[in-house]
Structure 1
């Protein structure tokens, strides 16, 4: 296959990854438009495909994921309003609040925090208000990748729900696809090594990985889509896709079952 065609194939097969990462990041940073993230991520995917060197043994999916998340982080840094001084004040105030809350067994009041820090109550109130909208970097280990230091309850709930549904979808994949997704995206093993272990070609692993990503996207959109489910993007048979949905319900329980029944009723 000519280099240009290989590059285009990488881009086409991994576009669902851009959509998934953009949706996941938007769920944690609702102030950043999902469409803007998708545009930045698509550009990062194109540049990743152009720069990718398969001889290094790094799976393209893992390589592209890092590039896309890095592009998201750069975009959000450019949008961030907080100076280092403000960030330091926020971090100190939140740390004192958490320490007092743990010691008191209840949420510390602004007056208690102000007394402990020797600060006016107004400054403490402003710092805590700023904390609710401060953007951190995606790779900040202290925040475990969360965009907000203090996520709103509805944002935390949505993030937890997305993770739960994705975990169920990964576990529901056909066995070979599940093994490949685990090896590529979680264990970050070289595709060549995975192919040798499974006794198949490098291209066969890549094709299965791409189809697994498409099937995961079908599962997520079948659960989260507003209105009838979108047209599937996976190329598997209807029987395989329906069996995948059935396993998601079996693994995820009544919550996923209700969403799928609602989607079926809207489609009927």
Structure 2
């Protein structure tokens, strides 16, 4: 961690980066307050300055950019109103609109989309009106390209993040690991996972939420080297045992 003078210099020198990233992300969701996104990014910049370790060989700008971008996207996600079902309906409607427009060579009407999909007209109209207000955090082409084609100085940060995340996932209690893999990696319906495990839909949601909190705690500790307050609601002993499993896996591989 840099001393106080160096820390403040890093923050002041990189404040324009916060504004740049906030404006870029805001362009895809201009119904959200730019000030809120910039505020989340500024807090992430301070966190980056507090946790920066130059011995890792990663430039501060690349390290800060990762944290700022993640924080702003998390802020956008927290302010986004759309449920997964709403997103799926919007995606289905917009894809059909593009397909019909391409085949007919003209702009299609909501009625034509409704007839083709067999979807109620009011649902189609709502979906079309909502397209500009839904944040596509994972599916946008720009985000996918950035995730795959990292700048050279960012590759070490991304590689470390992927490594920690995989080890944190592997260290989860078995049921939590099955749920996270089923929902987020295999994209299976929660109903199917609940039936397979013999539990209720609510139990799956509860376990999934706790698993995400454990993963977040592991990322804070082993990727960001942060002593942030734990988000997990499990007992301190259970959380400590989990983090110990992550640490054992991570540091054993370095021997």
TM-score, normalisation: structure 1: 0.51
Matches within 5 A, 1:67-86: 67-86=67-86
The structure, 1 or 2, with the larger RCO (C-alpha pairs under 8 Å, 6+ apart) is 1
Which residue of the partner structure matches residue 12 of structure 2? Answer: 12
Give the equivalent residue in structure 2 for 1:49.
49
Give secondary structure in 2 for the equivalent of 1:188: helix
Residue of structure 2 in register with 1:208 after alignment: none
Which structure 1 residue ranges, 4+ long, deviate > 3 Å from structure 2? none
For residues 54 and 2 of structure 1, the distance between their equivalents in structure 2, rounded to whole angstroms, comes to: 9
1:188 and 2:153 correspond: yes
| 2:27 is equivalent to residue 62 of structure 1 | no
Measured after TM superposition, the shift of residue 117 of structure 1 is 0.4
Could you say what secondary structure the match of 1:144 adopts? Answer: helix
1: distance between equivalents of 2:140 and 2:25?
A: 17
Give the deviation of 1:126 after TM superposition.
1.1
The aligned residue for residue 232 of structure 2 is none
TM-fit CA distance, 1:188: 2.6
Structure 2 alignment gaps of length 5 or more:
145-149, 156-255
Q: Which residue of 2 aligns with 1:29?
A: 29
Count of aligned residue pairs for this structure pair = 151
Q: In the aligned structure 2, how far is the partner of 1:118 from the partner of 1:2?
A: 60
Residue 16 of structure 1 and its aligned partner are, at CA, apart by: 1.4
* Cα deviation, residue 42, structure 1: 1.0
Distance in 2 between residues matched to 1:28 and 1:122, nearest whole Å: 25
Cα pair distance change 1:141/1:123, threshold 3 Å: closer
Structure 1, unpaired ranges of 5+:
147-184, 191-268
Match of 1:144 in 2: 142
- Partner of 2:127 in structure 1? 127
TM-align CA RMSD? 2.5
